[in-house]
Structure 1
């Protein structure tokens, strides 16, 4: 029970961070990418804050023998950079650049009831399912 409460609190904290930093506003992201127009460098500070937080958090967490509510740490075993990783990063980046949304801020923006957020999330879910289908079909070939 405590494990799920901590998961919920982590999600709420992450959402508040997105709202306070205005990362749920797609114009912030789009203006960051518009270097020769209405450039807004504030996203750099959000990314630096996240990077510092993660660096400190990883140092503290990985000093532990195991997580509090799991039997082991779940660390990706795959270490190589392959076509799937590169193509996924490109697709993610193009989608983020076109819409100004990535999954976290889009989900945090649902409460605004804006149609474009729902369309983005629908497209994101279709992308998830398409990826699963492509991976299954490539394994069966």
Structure 2
């Protein structure tokens, strides 16, 4: 059985490794992200593809199996909004944290936007859609 301290340490080390990796690939640079989204530079898009191939191999080795279920009605519009927000702000929820760590303070606006978006999603889900809190991410 793992202790909380060991799990926390593993999470910190993994987070630092992820931050280092995404910073070196260029995922914290708005101009790089813009070139990816406008298909001017396929390097970062291929990085995404490589990550998908690696995780698929890890899942195969670990024999991780998920039974495909019914797709939630909010997945498609949520994915579209997520992509639009990423293209405009230059960051998904994790990237602005690395940007702030690298000294790019305007990313704080993106972090606030993520927090407000999650709150609005939870409010709308509870009031109008009767969905559980887990459907809004974090």
Name the TM-score class by shorter chain. Answer: 0.7 to 0.9
Cα gap change, 1:136 to 1:78, in 2 (>3 Å): farther
* Counterpart in the other structure of 2:63: 62
Q: Which runs of 5+ in 1 are unaligned?
A: 64-72
SS in 1 for 2:28: coil
1:8 aligned to which of 12, 15, 19: 12
Cα gap change, 1:44 to 1:89, in 2 (>3 Å): same
* Structure 1 residue 22 corresponds to structure 2 residue 1: no
In 2: Cα distance, 1:50 partner to 1:22 partner? 15
Structure ranking higher on relative contact order (CA contacts 8 Å, 6+ apart): 1
* Structure 1 residue 97 corresponds to structure 2 residue 108: no
Deviations 1:63-121 (A, max 9, x none): 6xxxxxxxxx9x7x872224311110010011111122111211111113333200010
Q: Which runs of 5+ in 2 are unaligned?
A: 132-138
Task: Give the length in aligned residue pairs.
Answer: 126
TM-score when normalising by structure 2: 0.80
RMSD over aligned Cα atoms: 2.2
Cα gap change, 1:30 to 1:17, in 2 (>3 Å): same
